[in-house]
Amino acid sequence: MSIKYAILGLLQYSDMHGYRIKAHIEKNFGHMWSINFGQIYPSLKQLQEEGLVNMLEIAPSENGGPRKKLYSITPKGVKELSKWLTEPTGKSILIRDPFLLKFAFFGFGEDANALTIIDEQIEFFESQLKRRQTNRKKWERQGVYVRLLAELGVTQNQMYLEWLHHAKKEVEKNMKRARREKA
């Protein structure tokens, strides 16, 4: 249940409502955390019951606008978060990368098909890299930790892209060799 702490931590940066929390995590923490609405709204309700956050219902303005629920962290919440910060991390990372899983079994299919899917992946990560590089600048003057995380995001993305290009070349080499052997 560390989603609880993800939310608590974000609220210590600034007050937010559910929708913003998701957008913020996706934009800035996408390389280390995934989240979805199905967790956010129930978690916020629970955090409120535990007295770790406060909720302020914001009435729609005169010209309409959606109803919002602005959440802020309570002193009790701040205490809970800093307790968690000192606990050893334990447990390992949870990863599920559908592309790499498929990659592991490309040997059972056609190389040409593999190349198509690799290209898809390259395209996706190229656009993501641009976004992260822009984002990184925004975090540059913030605290050390946030800056370092943004750096990691960019470095990771670059490394992964390099690997994808390398993989593409290797697969092409492999296809040529296979054709030669058949001839």
> Which residues make up the interface to DNA (CB under 7 A)?
1-3, 17-20, 23, 34-39, 41-45, 60, 63-69, 91, 94, 96
Cα distance between residue 171 and residue 100, in whole Å: 15
**C-alpha dihedral (90, 42, 11, 92), degrees to nearest 10:** 20
State the first-to-last Cα distance of the chain, in angstroms, to the nearest integer. 58
Write out the two tokens for 132: 């992260």
Which residues, including other chains, have CB under 8 Å from residue 129's CB and lie 6 or more apart? 154, 157, 158, 161
The minimum distance between CB 89 and its own copies, in angstroms, equals 5
Residue 43's binding partner out of DNA, its own copies, none, with CB under 5 to 8 Å set by partner kind = DNA
Determine contact, residues 55/44, Cβ cutoff 8 Å: yes
Tell me the per-residue interface mask from 62 to 81 with its own copies, x by CB under 8 A, - otherwise.
----------------x--x
Closer of 1 and 183 to DNA (Cβ): 1
The minimum distance between CB 24 and DNA, in angstroms, equals 10
**Sites of contact with its own copies (CB under 8 A):** 2, 5-6, 9, 12, 29-34, 78, 81-82, 84-86, 88-110, 113-114, 117, 120-121, 143-146, 148-149, 151-152, 155-156, 159, 163, 166-167, 170-171, 174
